[in-house]
Every structure is written in C-alpha cells, then in structure tokens.
Amino acid sequence: MWLRELKAAQSRLKWSRCPTTISTDSIEKVADEVVVCAKCRLCETRKHAVPGEGSSSARVMFVGEGPGQQEDIQGRPFVGDAGKLLTELLQSVGLRREDVYITNVVKCRPPNNRTPRKDEAAACRPYLERQLALIRPKVICPMGNSAIRALVESEESVTALHGVPFEKDSITYFPMYHPAAALYTASLKRVMEEDFQKLRGLLDSVTG
C-alpha cells in the first residue's frame, strides 16, 4: 500500500521522471505480461508464449531467436534438441541452466520456425529490454544471426563475430553460433565448445 501512495505522491509532485523513482518492475511481471501478450501476429499461432527462465541475478544471459515447437508446447526456452545441446555446453564449462538466464528475441513461436520478421522483433523488444534492465548481466551472448541483429549494431554475420567479446555501455557482448546450427553442421559443435571455454574465461575475468 505504501508503495502505491509513494508513487501517487511522486506523480503529484511530477517526480515520475526522477532517477530515484522506485521501480516496481520485475522478471515475474514481464513474464505475466508476455504470456497474455497480443502485440504482434505471432500470438495468433502460438500455444504458449515463452518469456525466458533462469536466475534473475544471472551474470550471463543467452538470447536465441524464438521458441521452436517444443518450447511452444512447454512454455520454456531451449527445451528441444537445440536446448539439450545448450544445456550440455553450459555443463561442459561448469554452468547450470539455473545459474544463467535464457530467453529469445521473440517470445512466441514463428510458424514453421521461420525467422522472426522485423516488426515482430520490434514489437517484442521492450520485453527483452526490461529483462536486460532487471537482470543486468555482465555478459550477453546473442546466439545466431537473429539475436546478433537484435542486440549488436553490426551487419556482420555470426561467422565473423562469434567467439570475440566486445564491450558496449559497460556490458560485454559475446556472440555465439546458435546451437541449432551445430545440429545441422556437425563441425560447428567443436567451434561452440571452444567458444564456451572462452566464455568461461571471460566470465571469470569480468566477475572475478
């Protein structure tokens, strides 16, 4: 109750833009909004929206393209074949899914797993931005070209960008291949394993 009164007082005093305004946003609130969202056409064909999951104090956040069939059925990110590989790669460097945060550029499955359209990614973007602002990860890993396009101001593809960290606004970005790519092209699995080793070193260096 006091919080509502404080917010009302802040807005009466035109303090709502004051940087000390108390944020009442939360990861749970984002998820509650995502599961009923109808801001783009993908809501018409989804079974379940997939907000994301993991630790709300994660030091590293993984961003994929969008839910696939299994994710759409279960409402959880990366639980199909690509997800199994992601879980294995995490484990190979001593990380558990619960230690990291995993989400996607769009929270609803595109029909037949097509690439999300620009307007869909734009409609969904505020959710990703709120998740980033709430979790404040030290390292963000965009996985694959859709996530790279959404998060990194570069026209380069994942082939050029993967495995090389760079910093922007005090956040380290570490682009990676999408694990689904390694299911199609076996040789990429080795590359992903090496990138995860690099990520391990990066996490140790940025967070001590």
Q: Does 120 bind ligand URA (CB under 6 A)?
A: no
Of the candidate residues 66, 75, 110, 175, the single one contacting ligand URA (CB under 6 A)? 66
Of the candidate residues 27, 49, 86, 181, the single one contacting ligand SF4 (CB under 6 A)? 49
Strand partners, 140: 61, 173
Q: In the bound complex, what is the minimum distance in angstroms from residue 31's beta carbon to ligand SF4?
A: 10
Sheet holding 171-173, edge to edge: 53-54, 101-104, 60-64, 139-142, 171-173, 166-168
List of residues 6+ apart from 39 with CB closer than 8 A: 123, 124
Of the pair 42, 143, the CB lying nearest ligand SF4 is at 42
Q: Does 127 bind ligand URA (CB under 6 A)?
A: no
Give the C-alpha distances (Å, rounded to integers) separating 186 from 85, 150, 157, 207: 12, 26, 19, 32
The 116-155 contact track toward ligand SF4, x by CB under 6 A, reads ----x--xx-------------------------------
Q: Does 106 bind ligand SF4 (CB under 6 A)?
A: yes
Distance separating alpha carbons of residues 184 and 82, to the nearest angstrom: 10
Of the pair 50, 95, the CB lying nearest ligand SF4 is at 50
Of the pair 63, 192, the CB lying nearest ligand SF4 is at 63
* Size of site (CB under 6 A) for ligand URA: 13
Q: What share of the chain is helix, strand, coil (3-state, %, to 5)?
A: 50, 10, 40
- CA torsion sign for 22, 27, 31, 32 is negative
DSSP state of 154: -
CB 101 within 8 A of CB 62: yes
Question: Under DSSP, is residue 168 helix (H, G, I), strand (E, B) or coil?
Answer: strand
Of the pair 67, 175, the CB lying nearest ligand URA is at 67
Of the candidate residues 104, 131, 145, 172, the single one contacting ligand URA (CB under 6 A)? 104
Q: Which does 150 bind (CB under 5 to 8 A by kind): ligand SF4, ligand URA, none?
A: none
**Which residues sit at the interface with ligand SF4, rule CB under 6 A?**
34, 37-40, 42-43, 49, 106-108, 120, 123-124
**Which residues sit at the interface with ligand URA, rule CB under 6 A?**
64-68, 71, 77-78, 80, 82-83, 104, 180
